[in-house]
Chains A and B, each alone.
Chain A
Amino acid sequence: MLNTFNILETIRMIQEQCLDIRTITMGISLLDCIDTDIQQACRKVYDKITAKAEHLVEVGEQIEKEYGIPIVNKRISVTPISLLAAVCPNDSPVKFAETLQKAADTCGVNFLGGYSALVHKGFSAGDLALIESIPEALAKTTNVCSSVNIGSTRSGINMDAVALMGKIVRQSAEQTADQQCIGAAKLVVFCNAVEDNPFMAGAFHGIGEPDCEIHVGVSGPGVVRAAIEKYPDASIDKLADVIKKTAFKITRMGQLVGTRASKMLNVPFGIVDLSLAPTPAVGDSVAHILEGMGLECCGTHGTTAALALLNDAVKKGGVMASSSVGGLSGAFIPVSEDAGMIDAAVNGTLSLEKLEAMTAVCSVGLDMIVVPGDIPEETISAMIADEAAIGMVNHKTTAVRLIPAIGKQVGEMLEFGGLLGSGPVMPYNQKSSAQFISRGGRIPAPMHSIKN
Chain B
Amino acid sequence: MRAVITVIGKDTVGILHKVSGICAAHHANVIEVTQSVMQDMFAMIMMIDISGMTSDFSSLADDMTTLGKSEHLDIHCMHEDVFNSMHEI
Count class of interface residues, chain A: 20 to 34
Bound: A290/B83 CA distance, A: 28
Known: A4-B45, A7-B4, A7-B6. A68 touches B82 (CB 8 A): yes
What would be 13 A-B contacts, judged by CB atoms less than 8 Å apart?
Answer: A4-B34, A4-B45, A8-B6, A10-B83, A11-B6, A15-B76, A65-B57, A65-B58, A65-B62, A66-B58, A66-B79, A68-B77, A256-B82
A2 at the interface (CB under 8 A from B): yes
Mark A residues whose CB is within 8 Å of B: 2, 4, 6-11, 14-15, 62, 65-69, 249, 252-253, 255-256, 320
| Residues on B with beta carbons closer than 8 Å to the beta carbon of A9 | 87
Count class of interface residues, chain B: 20 to 34
Shortest Cβ gap from B64 to chain A (Å): 10
| Residues on B with beta carbons closer than 8 Å to the beta carbon of A10 | 78, 82-83, 86-87
Most buried by A among B61, B87, B89: B87
B54 at the interface (CB under 8 A from A): no
| Residues on B with beta carbons closer than 8 Å to the beta carbon of A252 | 85-86
Known: A7-B6, A7-B45. A256 touches B61 (CB 8 A): no
| Residues on B with beta carbons closer than 8 Å to the beta carbon of A65 | 57-58, 61-62, 77
Task: Contact check, A2 vs B83: say whether CB atoms are below 8 A apart.
Answer: yes
B81 at the interface (CB under 8 A from A): yes
Residue of A nearest to B60 (CB): A65
5 additional contacts, CB 8 Å, given A11-B6, A68-B79? Answer: A2-B83, A6-B87, A7-B4, A15-B74, A68-B61
Shortest Cβ gap from A222 to chain B (Å): 16
B47 at the interface (CB under 8 A from A): yes
| Residues on B with beta carbons closer than 8 Å to the beta carbon of A66 | 57-58, 61, 79
Task: Contact check, B47 vs A2: say whether CB atoms are below 8 A apart.
Answer: yes
Residue of B nearest to A63 (CB): B58
Bound: A4/B36 CA distance, A: 12
Bound: A266/B44 CA distance, A: 37
| Residues on B with beta carbons closer than 8 Å to the beta carbon of A256 | 81-82, 85
Most buried by B among A14, A62, A68, A253: A68
Bound: A67/B89 CA distance, A: 19
B80 at the interface (CB under 8 A from A): yes
Known: A2-B4, A2-B47. A67 touches B58 (CB 8 A): no
Bound: A2/B47 CA distance, A: 10
Task: Contact check, B82 vs A67: say whether CB atoms are below 8 A apart.
Answer: yes
Task: Contact check, B4 vs A67: say whether CB atoms are below 8 A apart.
Answer: no
Residue of A nearest to B8 (CB): A11
